[in-house]
Amino acid sequence: MIGRFPDDDVRVNRARGLTSSQMRIAAFDLGSNSFHLLVVDAHADGTFVPLIKDKDMLRLGDAVGREGRIPDLLADRAVETVERFRRMAIGAGTEEIHACGTAALREAENGGEVVDRMAVEAGVKVRVISGQEEARLIFDAVRTAVVIDPAPALCLDLGGGSLEIMVGDRSGLRLAASVQLGVARLAAELVTGDPFTPDDVRRVDQRVTGVLAPLADEVARLRPAMAVGSSGTFCDLAQMVAARRTGSVPLSINQFTFSRDELLPLHEELLSLRSSERAGLAGLEDKRADIIPVGSTLLLTAMELFGFDRMTVSEWALREGIVLDAIPRHEAADWSGDPRAIRAASVLQLARRCNWDEGHSRQTARLALDLFDQTLALHGLGPDDRELLEHASMLHDIGEHVATASHHKHTAYLIQHGRLRGFTPGEVDFVAALARAHRGGGPKPSHEPFASLDRDARDRVTRLAALLRIADGLDRGRAGKVSGIEVTVGTTRARLVVHTESDVDIELWGARRKRELFERLFRRRLDVVAG
């Protein structure tokens, strides 16, 4: 780990466009399967904006599992990768580098020598962390990326050299353990065939059962109500399930949930194929093709031992945990009171990245929620839809960061690619479709991502879009002039009274201009008048 660079902070911040409340931090996650780089702009409140991501799949765990050490050529590659990461981080204006090594560097007989070389040749001091520390950092990332509800959650992080098992909730960890069940380790020690033989599967299952069974009772006493999986192998399994379910790999699988019944047929297919054939499967990184059946075998065995039949995926893991641990006062971002506060914080983070018009967006969101509450008899939607309406309202104009023309289309793209935390992939598409529908002719089957939603979701988006469009029109002048609204609903007409202490002609015009979808959908003439 490198401390602060000698450059003067103010000079560096100004040169890189940072404010005094920001710091550019780099995390090096030197894992047994892959080395990861993450460079972020970190805020003192615990939030951060990713700037650079990179990785190199070195598979140190394979070599350590077979030989007990890191071969010289592989050690050279590891040092070169760390040096490349350092050049990228410094080139991006990074002020601090935090590098952590895990199971392979912990256990290799020459791990200390390789770490020393990284310090001397690459200029990076690596902190080799214990399994318990690794579990703590991973869980900090998971609870910041995934809504743990119901709580507590059983979290499994499958790396190349070890499996971390955690139970906890928004307030913190209740159990943390690290066991030698890494996917690369198991493949190197127990697998001989390609495709996998029944004996290969039996050996992996027996090893996993023997190690995890003693932990099962301890986990059961904590009564976990959901299961979360993190890191590359589980993410690839989730992507493959998603591809089989929908025909395509989603842009993000954070908060994606799949069942044991969906995993079983995929597992059988993985066992039947050679690694060269698995490499062509949608959602699977080709470099993981030879070891992915080990991952599916381990997961199915763990599901049986720990008694869960569904898993939710976290895209955040150790590297994000390293960043969170490095940010001063990062505990301020725990949001331990409301598990869904993750979603609001993630929306705010995306809005910040897009230089949003905060006043207009917050005013639009407030008015949209008022309209929602006062027209329940018309739309008949529930609290989950109300929450998604709020998030879409906050983000509806972020596409102006790209261009004013067609900004609603840019908005949808930015939301879909914004890595929103705490949302399922379907919810991300829902918010993107709703935000896109705030202007233009209304949602259409030809529009993406509206086209990808099922019939029920399309209907809900359309109803909410009718409200969002009027709310947006009520702040047409972007001056926040409307202090409140009152809506009365009759059999053939609805009346929207706008309260203000100033001239709101432009706002009244804006709302009237955007009422057509409301009137067509709810079959009532909408009168918009000043109170």
Locate 328 and state its tokens.
Answer: 């001063």
How would you class 180 by CB atoms within 10 Å of its CB: exposed for 0-12, middle for 13-18, buried for 19 or more? Answer: middle
The Cα 159–Cα 286 span in angstroms is 17
Q: Kindly list the structural domains of the chain, giving each domain's residue range(s) and its CATH number in brackets, ordered by start.
A: 9-129 (3.30.420.40), 132-317 (3.30.420.150), 341-530 (1.10.3210.10)
Ranges of residues in the chain whose predicted pLDDT is under 50: 1-20, 329-336
Helical spans, DSSP H, in 70-197: 72-91, 103-107, 111-121, 131-145, 183-190
CA–centroid distance for 327 within its chain: 19
pTM, 2 dp:
0.83
Which residues lie closer than 8 Å to 448 by C-beta, 6 or more apart?
412
CB 274 within 8 A of CB 178: no
The Cα 24–Cα 49 span in angstroms is 9
Provide φ and ψ at 250, rounded to 5°: -65, 160
For residue 154, the SS3 value is strand
- What is the pLDDT at residue 330? 42
The Cα 220–Cα 400 span in angstroms is 50
The Cα 386–Cα 340 span in angstroms is 13
CB 103 within 8 A of CB 130: no
